[in-house]
Amino acid sequence: MTEDELQTRVIENLRALRKKAGLSQEKLADKADISRQMMNDIEGRRRWLTKGTLVKLANALEIDVYELFIPSAKENGSTKEEYDVIAEKIVRQVKEAVDNALENLQFD
């Protein structure tokens, strides 16, 4: 994967999640405490996200940051339904792995 492909993935996911939340660019910018111009530049691919801005946007969208990096159904050639099933399974497996790891930790 190239940096350009990664940027495309993150921006497309950001845009889709923003629309799913029913937010305009302006409302998301306000909610994330970033400038409206910055939000426009990010979605317009004129500016790349810093770690801090990624966190602000994820928090404003009420998602985990990693969700911005997951390949879309369109990108991996699956139908939306297939993609949703696969993504749900992956998230469930990750949560189970984390829960198991936490159960095996011993605190002194």
Evaluate whether 58 touches 20 at the Cβ level (below 8 Å): no
Kindly report, residue by residue over 26-73, the tens digit of the pLDDT.
999 999 999 999 999 999 999 989 999 999 999 999 999 988 988 875
Closest CA to 99 of 67, 69, 91: 91
Residue found by looking up tokens 């139908």 in the block:
79
Q: Cα separation of 90 and 105, whole Å?
A: 23
- Predicted confidence band of residue 81 (pLDDT cuts 50, 70, 90): confident
Q: Cα separation of 41 and 18, whole Å?
A: 15
What is the per-residue pLDDT for 78? Answer: 54
